Structure 1
Amino acid sequence: MTTSTPGRVLLVARRPGAYPTIGDALAEASDNAVITIASGEYAETVELTGIRVTLAAADGATVVVDGRGADRPVFRTTGGALVLEEIEVLAGGASAIQSHDTELTVRHCTVSGGRGPAIAIRGATAFTVTGCVISAAEQGILVDGSPGRIEDTTVEDVTGDGITLGQGADPVVAGCTVTGCGLRGVYVYQYARPSIEGCVISHTGHEGIAVAHHGGPVIERCTVTGTRGPGIAFASGCGGEISACRVSNTAEPGIAIAEGATPTVSEAVDPGAVGDSALDDMLAELDAMIGLPGVKEEVRALVDELQVNEWRRRAGLPVGAAGHHLIFAGAPGTGKTTVARIYGKLLKALGVLPIGEFHEVTRRELVGQYIGHTAEKTATVFEEAKGGVLFIDEAYTLTRFAGSGGDFGQEAIDTLVPLMEEHRDEVAVIVAGYTDEMAGFLAANPGLASRFGKTIEFENYSPAELLAIFGRMASAGDYELDPDAGPVLTDHFRRVSGDVNFGNARDARLLFEKARTAQSQRLRLTGRMPAVEELRGLRVADVEAAIAR
């Protein structure tokens, strides 16, 4: 077996002893070299042939490779292997990245601009594009003939097609978002056989997913919505599969299959119908949570109201405008994040939101470093959350009363208020935090409180409930808790639950981890391989040692 010899590690930075440009570093790079790039803007283009190299931003660095002044690709590679990691690529008169028969990996990069496809991949060599954002290009990603994987990637605001797969290409396209395309969201043609899984395609000028010229994709668990053409369309001579997809708010028919096309269609979701079994499963997930009786009752009441509204809409009866924004008030560790995730799933199952994805942010993701920056960051986060749930934890830290940088936090609130009203049918905003502090948060803007339909109070867990949570953690890790440890744990939770900074289930999780550590130390000191029952057993002594830490 042949193994690769590690190459040199080269630094690109504007300081003595480093390479001033990426091109300078590549000129001296050997095979398998890793080129680490310091923060900065690098106005250059790169052409590689037959070399294996990694270009990665240094830890915490913001690296921009700007090729807007050139009429050639910013990165063009033939043969070999190229890894691009956490780099922003700005294209000009050609593609941002053009690859031919290269082991290409593009990871957590931002790619924008250019003529033609932002990323063009050709040949028979496998590739990976993961965690990227591609925008403001003529086309998004083009794959001709290549196997590989496109995952967790967003393609948005392109004048042509979002993702084009042709010439027999058979990649996996998974968990991607394609939105704002002048033509088609995903175009499959010329015998391509991709798997398109769990993707969301919306707001396209033509079809959401179009299949032509003997294409044969497998399309599973995708959501297609808001397209000017049909949601999914198969031309004559095409085959493949469609299963468990949701198609809504598209031109008719939602799924268009031309005469002579032979795809199999199963479990396609009728956007006007709600699966009782799916709802029951999610409500069962809610019911399985320990404690929270008042929270469960409130969520079920919301579900009942939304379900009846949907029935009224389908019957042609009027339905009042209703937002889905909520306030979750209570101490940390009381299940607010978990309930918010379930709520998003419920809204999707009810057809209220097309995606139901969960976006959790804190002050850090919303607040910028200077006046005007915060509004831009907040608007971007809100846009990314459309179709799902935007969960803002510790939202009270955004108010001007929260300490340093309060004015910038106020800017975030002032930006959110009109967005929540204008897009109340497209996103559910849930703000969470301590009950008293949330009152100050709501007072930060005259229109903020009216944007929320309901406040749900999350009570602290009782000592008995915390014991049950601890026991569930132990069972999930395949540990067996000594029954005699129960009273010890209950007494401990009773003592600490009155502390101001008590974290409820978070503290129970921390205590469980400490008990595992204590067990590991105890077993290690035996000097032998423990039996299976010893490895599984959490004793009273382990719990007492954890409490004493």
Structure 2
Amino acid sequence: MSRTLLVSPAQRGAYATIGDALAAATDDSVIAVAPGTYLEAIYLTNKRVRLIPAESGGTVTLDATRMPHPAVSCRDATLTIEGFTLRAGDAPVVTARGTELALSGCDLAARFGPGVDVTGGRVDLRRCTIAGAQYGIVIEDASGIVDDCHISDVAEDGIILRIGADPVVTASSVRGCGRRGVYIYQFGRPTLEGCEVTQAGDVGIAVAHQSSPTIRRCWVHDTQGVGLSFARGCAGSVEECRVENTADPAVEIADGATTTVVAAAPDAPPLKMGDPGPNAGGDAEAVEALLTELDSMVGLTGVKGEVRALIDEIQVNEWRRSAGLSVGGMSHHLIFSGAPGTGKTTVARLYGKLLAALGVLPKGAFKEVARRDLVGQYLGHTAEKTSAAFEEARGGVLFIDEAYTLSRSMGSGGDFGQESIDTLVKLMEDHRHEIAVIAAGYTVEMEEFLSANPGLASRFSKSIVFENYSPEELLRIVQRMCAADDYVLGAQVEHTLLIHFSTIERDANFGNAREARKLFEGVRKAQAQRLRVLGRRPSLDELRLIEKSDIDAITGTG
């Protein structure tokens, strides 16, 4: 069973150092570290552990600059570190051997040695910065992902990929290094896509020793050496890359190399870091199918228009990005306000699938949560629960039902609800391109929710209002339920239903489509009771028919 261990030198009962907590940790433990600077180097072996800040917005710095050791060393382990500042002196910042290493949102710096040094295992680096080291990232005989990472001002090579290393490096940059921007050698087989290499003291991207990388839509510019070089015996491909203001030739392929080059269009604008490939805009057929499904929903004319406008903007932005044009920042987080039963959850699911089909989010996963899923029982527990729910939804949609119950003004334990809101604000900003957070609830109460944190309202790009269904729309919902379950409405039934829906009091407890579902379930029971007392087996037509008396039995009319 996983544990959560708190590190806080100032709090009784907590661990004083990260090393103490690691020594006590069992597999799958989460170590939550209070803000502050920790003058230590840590070592992990044969354990699965996750390190996170204990408080959103707090800075945790692991400072090993005065020690001869790496700030983080791990062997035969699984280690995740999120949102830390890591500092080393004359040693690597992070070394991993035979380990599954994941760093996200971390800032690394060293005087000497690599920022990240990985041999064997697997690496997952996302949204990290590395500055001032001897090398930026060294990956040897390992696979994994390097995404949205930025390396600057390193003494020698920016990224080294060697001895069969085959990670996928995307949307990352190397700027200002003493030697090569990227060095691939000894059978390296990585993929570099949408990356930028600039201000290298030697070659921008150098490939040697029978390596065969795929280098796609990268931008290499302003280097002292050639843009890209391939030594004898190397293979791989260079696809639609831009090489500008480098030594001649821009791409140097030695005799005996079998590298293929697919040139970018002559009039194409310079690539910008992180550009997607030619499939930008996603699966057009899937998008249209999902929009058709949205259009088939009863009512919600305004909502459909709002969602279509969002999808149109997202799709055009993806087309612009793939063409190398500038694109403004766009959040996918939304507010859905309105009464219950108006289709908010259904539309949220479709929205997530649309984002996945467009290629904006990696998957259409949907996680629905309420206050009880996010708010804990003691200080620090809420941040942990909220972060866990957020992490589970990453790549898809996190749907927070009745989100206003998290605000401080909502009953007892409001402070813990506020802790959840504060945690969400930071996570939504840090991972704004990896998730869509949709907060739903009553219109007036959602306005109170947005005022609970100064930065909360700005995290949501739009508020969409779900109106109550009209009597005619509620009738259509019942008609669809009947057709789906193989029932037929008899004479005068539709008129009776329309009158009933017109007379229902639409107060705070009005459930919209839930009212229609509740009525339909009741009518089925009324029909069953009527048929049961016939004294014979009903015919097929009788089994399907809903009569006016069945409606009257439930609504009290007639």
TM-score category (smaller protein): 0.5 to 0.7
TM-score (norm 1): 0.55
Matched, 1:389 2:397: yes
Q: Could you tell me which of 143, 149, 158 is aligned with 1:206?
A: 143
Find the aligned partners of 2:554 and 2:469 in 1 and give their Cα distance. Answer: 20
Partner of 2:328: 320
Question: Does the CA-based 8 Å contact 1:328-1:458 persist in structure 2?
Answer: yes
Shift of 1:360: 0.8
Alignment of 1:26-37 (within 5 A): none
Q: Please provide the CA RMSD for this pair.
A: 3.8
Find the aligned partners of 1:117 and 1:372 in 2 and give their Cα distance. Answer: 21
Question: Does the CA-based 8 Å contact 1:117-1:137 persist in structure 2?
Answer: no
Question: Does the CA-based 8 Å contact 2:337-2:463 persist in structure 1?
Answer: yes
Partner of 1:159: 99
Partner of 1:183: 122
Partner of 2:544: 536
Matched, 1:345 2:353: yes
Find the aligned partners of 2:142 and 2:331 in 1 and give their Cα distance. Answer: 28
Question: Does the CA-based 8 Å contact 1:206-1:230 persist in structure 2?
Answer: no
Output the amino acid matched with 2:446. Answer: M
Q: Could you tell me which of 493, 501, 515 is aligned with 1:493?
A: 501
Question: Does the CA-based 8 Å contact 1:378-1:415 persist in structure 2?
Answer: yes
**SS state of the match for residue 401, structure 1?**
coil
Output the amino acid matched with 2:424. Answer: L
Alignment of 1:92-241 (within 5 A): 138=77, 159-160=99-100, 182-183=121-122, 206=143, 228-229=167-168
Find the aligned partners of 1:40 and 1:321 in 2 and give their Cα distance. Answer: 38
Question: Does the CA-based 8 Å contact 1:205-1:229 persist in structure 2?
Answer: no
Find the aligned partners of 2:193 and 2:513 in 1 and give their Cα distance. Answer: 39
Cα separation, partners in 2 of 1:423 and 1:379, compared to 1, 3 Å: same
Question: Does the CA-based 8 Å contact 2:283-2:359 persist in structure 1?
Answer: no
Partner of 1:303: 311
Decide which structure has the larger Cα Rg and report it.
2
Cα separation, partners in 2 of 1:454 and 1:230, compared to 1, 3 Å: closer
Find the aligned partners of 1:474 and 1:294 in 2 and give their Cα distance. Answer: 26
Alignment of 1:503-522 (within 5 A): 503-522=511-530
Question: Does the CA-based 8 Å contact 1:229-1:252 persist in structure 2?
Answer: no
**SS state of the match for residue 337, structure 2?**
strand
Cα separation, partners in 2 of 1:430 and 1:483, compared to 1, 3 Å: farther
**SS state of the match for residue 437, structure 2?**
strand
Shift of 1:278: 1.3
Question: Does the CA-based 8 Å contact 1:442-1:448 persist in structure 2?
Answer: yes
Output the amino acid matched with 2:460. Answer: F
Output the amino acid matched with 1:159. Answer: T
Partner of 2:248: none
1:318-370 CA-to-partner distances (Å, cap 9, x unmatched) read: 11111111100100000101111111111111111111211111111100111
Q: 5+ residue gaps in structure 2?
A: 4-21, 30-43, 50-74, 80-97, 103-119, 125-140, 146-165, 171-191, 196-212, 217-234, 238-276
Question: Does the CA-based 8 Å contact 1:248-1:271 persist in structure 2?
Answer: no
Alignment of 1:261-410 (within 5 A): 271-410=279-418
Q: Could you tell me which of 413, 416, 426 is aligned with 1:418?
A: 426
**SS state of the match for residue 360, structure 1?**
strand
Output the amino acid matched with 1:435. Answer: T
TM-score (norm 2): 0.54
Find the aligned partners of 2:28 and 2:290 in 1 and give their Cα distance. Answer: 45
Shift of 1:546: 2.0
Question: Does the CA-based 8 Å contact 2:337-2:466 persist in structure 1?
Answer: yes
Shift of 1:290: 0.5
Cα separation, partners in 2 of 1:462 and 1:357, compared to 1, 3 Å: same
Question: Does the CA-based 8 Å contact 1:374-1:411 persist in structure 2?
Answer: yes
Shift of 1:253: 7.2
Shift of 1:270: 6.7
Find the aligned partners of 1:534 and 1:325 in 2 and give their Cα distance. Answer: 49
Find the aligned partners of 2:350 and 2:361 in 1 and give their Cα distance. Answer: 13
Partner of 1:461: 469
**SS state of the match for residue 352, structure 2?**
helix
Question: Does the CA-based 8 Å contact 2:368-2:401 persist in structure 1?
Answer: yes
Partner of 2:53: none
Q: 5+ residue gaps in structure 1?
A: 1-38, 42-67, 70-88, 93-112, 119-135, 141-157, 163-180, 186-203, 209-226, 232-246, 259-268
**SS state of the match for residue 400, structure 1?**
coil
Question: Does the CA-based 8 Å contact 1:518-1:546 persist in structure 2?
Answer: yes
Question: Does the CA-based 8 Å contact 1:324-1:453 persist in structure 2?
Answer: yes
1:233-270 CA-to-partner distances (Å, cap 9, x unmatched) read: xxxxxxxxxxxxxx99898479x999xxxxxxxxxx97
Alignment of 1:65-84 (within 5 A): none
Output the amino acid matched with 2:303. Answer: V
Find the aligned partners of 1:444 and 1:161 in 2 and give their Cα distance. Answer: 36
Quote the sequence identity (%).
55
Question: Does the CA-based 8 Å contact 1:357-1:389 persist in structure 2?
Answer: yes
Find the aligned partners of 2:350 and 2:193 in 1 and give their Cα distance. Answer: 22
Partner of 1:108: none
Shift of 1:499: 2.6
Shift of 1:528: 2.4
Cα separation, partners in 2 of 1:429 and 1:116, compared to 1, 3 Å: closer
Cα separation, partners in 2 of 1:248 and 1:503, compared to 1, 3 Å: farther
**SS state of the match for residue 367, structure 2?**
strand
Find the aligned partners of 1:295 and 1:407 in 2 and give their Cα distance. Answer: 33
